[in-house]
C-alpha cells in the first residue's frame, strides 16, 4: 500500500505548473476537509457583507484630508495615487481572511492589492475533490475568475480608447508561486496579451513603461507585485523608477490591475476607521451595515490602550505587512507572548486588533497526523463572493502554513 508521501507525490506530480512544495517544505496537503452547504453559504454571506463594507469605506477615504491618510500610515508619495478611481470595482481580485467564531465568522483582514492562494482554490481544489470523491465547493468559479479579469481589462481598454492595447502580465520570474499565479490568470483571461518578467520591463520618466522589445505598455496586470514594494524601487543609477511608474498611472499613461483603489484597501488601518465609525454609530453606515460590522469585524485601533484597559488579548500588525510577517500576539496585560520570526515591516505604522482563537483541525501530512489552526480564505471577484479554501498552521498564519483542500460530501456518501 502506498504511503502518504507516495500518494501525495504521485497526485501533485500531475501538475507541472503548481507549487505543491514551497521553500523546500510541504505546502499542499494530500488531504481534504469537508464543508457542508450551510457552512459554505454562511461564508459567502459573510464575505458579501464584509466586502460591501470595505468597498463603501473607499468612497469616504478618497475624500478625507491628506493628514488623515498620513495618520493611517500611507506613504506620502501615494496620496494622489490612492484617490484614483479607475475601475467600477475597488479591487478586481481580493481575498478576505476569516476565522470561524461561534456561529459566525470574523474578518481579520482583506488582501485587496496582491492576494495569492488563487490557483489553489480556483483550479487545484477541484482536482483534489475529484481524487477524494468529494464535490467541489468552488465548481465553475474559474469561469467567474475569467469573467472578472476580462471585464477589468475590457473596461480599461474602453477608458484608454484603444482597440488593440499592449497588455502585459508581469511577476518576478524567479518565484514559482508569483510567476505561475500570473501565468494562470493570463491564461484564464483569454485576451491577447503577453507575460514579461518584472526585471525585463523598462521605464522612461514621463513617457511610459515599455516591454522587452521597446513597445509601450498600455495595461499592466501585476497580481503579485505590491505597491508598497514598488514605491521603493530604484534602478542601478538610483532613479526612483517605482515613483515614476505611479506618475505614469496618475497621468493616464498606464493602467494597472489590480487598480489603485486596491492599495487603498490594503492598508489594515482601514479596519480601524471602520470600527471607529461603528462605535460612534456614525450615519455614514446604515443601521443594517452597523449590524454587519458588529457581527463580522473585530475591534481594531491605532493604539493598544483599549485592550489593556479592558484586559483583552490582542494582535499587533503592521498596516502593510503580509504572510504574518512582523505580527505579534499580546496577553491581557499587554505583554508580548508570541511573534513571527520574520520582522520585515517594522518601519510601518501598526494596528491593534482583538485576538480571536482559531479552531483546531487534525490533518494528514508528511510529518504524520498533525493539529493546526484553521484560517478561511474567501475570494471576492469585483466585490462578489467566489472561491473559498483553508490554510492550517500556527497561531500566526505565515508563508509556511499549509494549504488544506476543501470539499463537500456527495449525497449518500
List the domain boundaries for the chain. 303-351
Set of cell numbers at residue 37: 452547504
The parts of the chain modelled with pLDDT lower than 50 are none
Q: Per the structure block, which three cell numbers stand in for 264?
A: 487603498
Which 8-state DSSP code applies to residue 216?
A: B
The b-or-e profile of 40-70 (16+ CB within 10 A means b, else e) is bebbbebbebbbebbbebbeebeeeeeeebe
- Give the gyration radius of the chain's Cα atoms: 21
Task: Look at residue 326 in the predicted model and tell me its pLDDT.
Answer: 77
For the chain, the straight-line distance linking the first and the last C-alpha, in angstroms and rounded, comes to 23
Contact (CB, 8 A) for 166 and 211? yes
Alpha-carbon distance of 236 to 234, in angstroms, equals 7
How many residues appear in the chain?
Answer: 413
Return the pLDDT at 398: 65
pLDDT value of residue 411: 74
Residue ranges of E strands in 170-303: 194-195, 202-204, 208-210, 219-221, 255-257, 300-301
Predicted TM-score of the model (pTM): 0.96
DSSP 199: G
The 10s digit of each residue's pLDDT in 207-249 is 999 999 999 999 999 988 889 888 899 999 999 999 999 999 9
The residues with which 390 forms a beta bridge, in sequence order, are 376, 404
Angle (CA) 216-222-224 rounded to 5° is 155
Contact 264, 90 (CB under 8 A): yes
pLDDT of res. 323: 73
CA dist., res. 351 & res. 231, Å (int): 22
Q: How far apart are the C-alpha atoms of 326 and 349, rounded to whole Å?
A: 11
Per-residue burial over 12-34, b = 16 or more CB atoms within 10 Å of its CB, e = otherwise? beeeeebbbebeeebbbbbbbbe
DSSP symbol at 379? E
318, β-bridge pairs: 350
Nearest Cα neighbor of 30 from 372, 373, 405, 361 is: 405
Number of H helices, E strands in the chain: 14, 22
From 22, 37, 18, 7, select the one nearest 411 (Cα to Cα). 37
Query: Measured between alpha carbons, how far is residue 43 from residues 40, 100, 146, 269, 388 in Å?
Result: 5, 9, 22, 24, 8
Count other Cβ atoms within 10 Å, centred on residue 344: 13
Give pLDDT, residue 397.
67
Distance CA 68, CA 174 (A): 38
Q: Which residues contact 180 (CB under 8 A, 6 or more apart)?
A: 17, 18, 19, 119
Coil, strand or helix: which one is 261?
Answer: helix
pLDDT in tens, 42-69: 999 999 999 999 999 999 999 999 999 9
Amino acid at each position: 500500500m502506498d504511503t502518504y508521501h507516495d500518494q501525495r507525490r504521485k497526485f501533485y506530480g500531475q501538475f507541472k505548473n503548481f507549487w505543491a512544495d514551497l521553500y523546500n517544505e510541504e505546502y499542499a496537503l494530500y488531504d481534504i476537509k469537508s464543508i457542508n452547504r450551510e457552512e459554505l453559504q454562511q461564508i459567502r454571506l459573510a464575505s458579501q457583507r464584509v466586502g460591501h463594507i470595505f468597498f463603501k469605506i473607499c468612497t469616504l477615504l478618497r475624500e478625507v484630508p491628506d493628514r488623515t491618510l498620513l495618520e493611517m500610515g500611507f506613504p506620502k508619495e501615494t496620496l494622489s495615487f490612492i484617490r484614483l478611481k479607475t475601475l467600477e470595482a475597488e479591487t478586481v481580485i481580493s481575498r478576505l481572511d476569516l476565522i470561524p467564531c461561534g456561529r459566525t465568522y470574523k474578518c481579520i483582514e482583506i488582501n485587496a492589492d496582491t492576494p495569492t492562494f488563487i490557483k489553489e482554490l480556483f483550479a487545484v481544489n477541484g482536482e483534489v475533490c475529484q481524487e477524494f470523491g468529494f464535490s467541489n465547493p468552488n465548481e465553475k468559479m474559474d469561469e467567474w475568475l475569467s469573467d472578472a479579469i476580462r471585464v477589468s481589462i475590457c473596461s480599461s481598454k474602453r477608458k484608454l480608447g484603444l482597440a488593440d492595447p499592449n497588455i502585459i502580465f508581469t511577476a518576478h520570474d524567479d518565484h514559482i508561486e508569483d510567476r505561475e499565479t500570473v501565468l494562470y490568470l493570463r491564461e484564464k483571461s483569454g485576451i491577447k496579451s503577453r507575460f514579461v518578467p518584472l526585471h525585463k520591463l523598462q521605464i522612461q520618466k514621463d513617457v511610459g513603461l515599455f516591454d522587452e522589445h521597446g513597445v509601450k505598455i498600455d495595461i499592466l496586470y501585476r497580481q503579485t507585485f505590491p505597491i508598497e514594494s514598488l514605491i521603493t524601487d530604484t534602478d542601478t543609477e538610483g532613479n526612483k523608477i517605482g515613483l515614476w511608474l505611479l506618475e505614469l498611472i496618475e497621468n493616464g499613461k498606464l493602467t494597472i490591475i489590480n487598480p489603485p483603489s486596491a492599495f487603498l484597501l490594503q492598508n489594515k488601518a482601514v479596519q480601524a476607521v471602520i470600527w471607529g465609525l461603528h462605535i460612534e454609530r456614525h450615519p455614514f453606515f446604515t443601521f443594517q451595515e452597523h449590524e454587519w460590522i458588529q457581527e463580522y469585524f473585530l475591534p481594531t485601533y491605532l493604539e493598544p490602550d483599549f485592550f489593556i484597559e479592558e484586559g483583552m488579548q490582542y494582535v499587533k500588525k503592521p498596516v502593510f505587512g503580509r504572510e504574518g510577517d512582523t505580527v505579534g500576539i499580546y496577553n491581557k496585560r499587554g505583554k508580548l507572548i508570541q511573534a513571527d520570526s520574520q520582522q520585515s515591516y517594522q518601519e510601518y505604522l501598526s494596528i491593534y486588533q482583538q485576538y480571536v482563537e482559531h479552531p483546531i483541525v487534525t490533518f494528514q501530512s508528511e510529518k504524520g497526523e498533525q493539529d493546526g489552526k484553521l484560517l478561511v480564505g474567501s475570494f471576492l471577484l469585483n466585490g462578489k463572493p467566489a472561491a473559498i479554501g483553508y490554510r492550517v498552521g500556527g497561531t500566526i498564519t505565515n508563508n509556511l502554513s499549509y494549504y488544506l483542500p476543501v470539499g463537500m460530501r456527495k449525497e449518500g456518501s
